[in-house]
Amino acid sequence: IGLHSDQQIIVIKNRGKPLPKRGFLYVYEFGDIDQIQKKRKFINFVKNHPILEDYLNKIPIEENDAFTNSYKRNNLAETICKNWGLFAVQGPPGTGKTYLAAEVVAKFLKNNPYAKILVCSKEHLALNYILKKVVERLKNENTEFRAFRSLSYIRQTTSTIESYIKEFLSSNIMREIGSYKWKNGSEIWYHAQESLVQEYDLRNLSLAISSASIIFCTTMDGIFHQLINKKSFDLVVIEEAGKSYPSELLHTICIGHRVLLIGDQNQLPPYQIRETEEALRIWEAILKRVKSDPHLNEDLQKRFGYDYLKLKNFYNKYSSFDMQQLCWLKPFETLFKLLPAEKKYFLDQQYRMELPLSNVIGRIFYNREFKHKKKPEKPLIGIIPEEYDVPMLWIDTPHMTEYMDASDDPEKIGMRVNFYELSILITYLKLLKPLKSIDLIILTPYNDQKDLFLESEELKNVCLEMTNEPFKEIIRTTDEYQGHEADLTILSLVRNNTLYAASSWGFIIEPERLNVMFSRTKSRQVIIGCTQHIIRNSHEERIKIFHNLYLEYKKEGIFVSSKNFLGNQEKNKERENNG
Distances (CA, A) of 556 to 176, 283, 341, 355, 394: 54, 47, 34, 9, 11
pLDDT at 196: 55
The residue type at 217: C
* Helical spans, DSSP H, in 76-152: 76-82, 97-111, 124-140
pLDDT for the residue numbered 179? 62
**Distances 41 to 227, 228, 326 between C-alpha atoms, Å:** 11, 8, 22
Give the pLDDT score at 304.
87
Whether 176 maps to a domain, the answer reads no
Q: Give the per-residue pLDDT at 313.
A: 85
- What integer pLDDT is reported at residue 340 of this predicted model? 92
* Residue 175 located in a structural domain: no
pLDDT of 28: 60
For 198, phi and psi rounded to 5 degrees?
-90, -5
Question: Does some domain include residue 183?
Answer: no
Question: Of 89, 204, 75, which Cα lies nearest the Cα of 150?
Answer: 204
Q: Is 221 contained in some domain? A: yes
Same domain, 400 and 531: yes
- Alpha helices per DSSP H over 180-293: 187-196, 202-211, 224-227, 246-253, 273-290
Amino acid code (one letter) for 362: G
Q: Are residues 384 and 506 in the same domain?
A: yes
218, part of any domain: yes
**Burial of residue 181 (number of CB atoms within 10 Å: 0-12, 13-18, 19+):** exposed
Whether residue 354 lies inside any domain: the answer is: no
Do 379 and 513 share a domain, yes or no?
yes
Residues paired with 218 in a beta bridge:
121
388-405 burial code (b ≥16 CB/10 A, e <16): bbbbbbbbbbbbbeeeee
Distances 375 to 133, 351, 370, 523, 526 between C-alpha atoms, Å: 19, 8, 14, 11, 21
Per-residue confidence in pLDDT tens, the chain, 579 aa: 666 556 666 666 665 666 777 777 666 655 666 666 667 666 666 666 777 777 877 777 665 556 789 889 999 999 999 999 999 999 999 999 999 999 999 999 999 999 999 999 988 888 999 999 999 999 999 999 999 998 876 777 767 777 788 888 876 666 666 566 667 766 566 566 555 555 555 566 777 788 889 999 998 887 776 776 667 899 999 999 999 888 888 888 888 999 999 999 999 988 888 888 888 888 888 988 988 898 999 999 898 888 788 888 877 877 666 666 678 889 999 999 999 999 999 999 999 999 999 999 999 999 999 999 998 888 999 999 999 999 999 999 999 999 999 999 887 777 899 999 999 999 999 999 988 899 999 999 999 999 999 999 999 999 999 999 999 999 999 998 888 899 999 999 999 999 888 889 999 999 999 999 999 999 999 999 999 999 998 988 899 999 999 999 999 999 999 998 988 777 666 666 665
Spatial distance between the Cα atoms of 130 and 121, rounded to a whole number of angstroms: 8
The one-letter code for the residue type at 71 is Y
Q: Which one, of 554, 518, 521, lies nearest residue 535 by Cα?
A: 554
Distance set, CA 321 to CA 44, 280, 308, 311, 500 (Å): 22, 7, 15, 11, 31
The CA distance from 532 to 498, in Å, is: 11
Final residue before a domain boundary, out of 205, 237, 263: 263
308 and 440 within one domain: no
Instruction: Report the C-alpha gap between 86 and 346 in whole angstroms.
Output: 15
Which of 310, 329, 348 is the endpoint of a domain? 329
Query: What pLDDT is stored for residue 324 in this prediction?
Result: 63
Asked if residue 289 and residue 247 are part of one domain, the reply reads no
| Residue 425 confidence (pLDDT) | 97
How confident is the model at residue 171, as a pLDDT? 66
* DSSP conformation class of 398: P
pLDDT, position 414? 76
Q: Phi, psi (5° rounding) for residue 165?
A: -80, -40
Q: What's the chain's length in residues?
A: 579
286 & 416 share domain: no
- Report if residue 517 sits inside a domain: yes
Give the number of domains in the chain. Answer: 3
Residue type, 13: K
- The span from the CA of 16 to the CA of 104, in Å, is 48
Compute how many other C-beta atoms are within 10 angstroms of the C-beta atom of residue 128: 18
Looking at residue 444, its amino acid is: T
The alpha helices in 400-446, defined as continuous H runs, are: 419-431
Rounded CA separation 478/414 (Å): 20
In this prediction, residue 98 carries a pLDDT of: 94
What is the pLDDT, as a whole number, of residue 62? 63
pLDDT at 165: 84
The pLDDT score that the predictor gives to residue 216 is: 94
- Domain shared by 249 and 289, yes or no: no
Do 231 and 296 share a structural domain? no
Looking at the structure, tell me whether residues 540 and 494 fall in a common domain: yes
- Of the candidates 410, 418, 407, 412, which has an alpha carbon nearest to the alpha carbon of residue 445? 418
Query: What's the CATH code of the domain at 528?
Result: 3.40.50.300
Distances (CA, A) of 458 to 436, 437, 448, 453: 20, 18, 18, 9
Q: Are residues 404 and 540 in the same domain?
A: yes
User: In this structure, are 243 and 299 located in the same domain?
Assistant: no
In a domain, 295, yes or no: yes
For 554, the domain range is 369-578
**74 and 10 housed in the same domain:** yes
Number of helices (H), then strands (E), belonging to the chain: the values are 24, 17
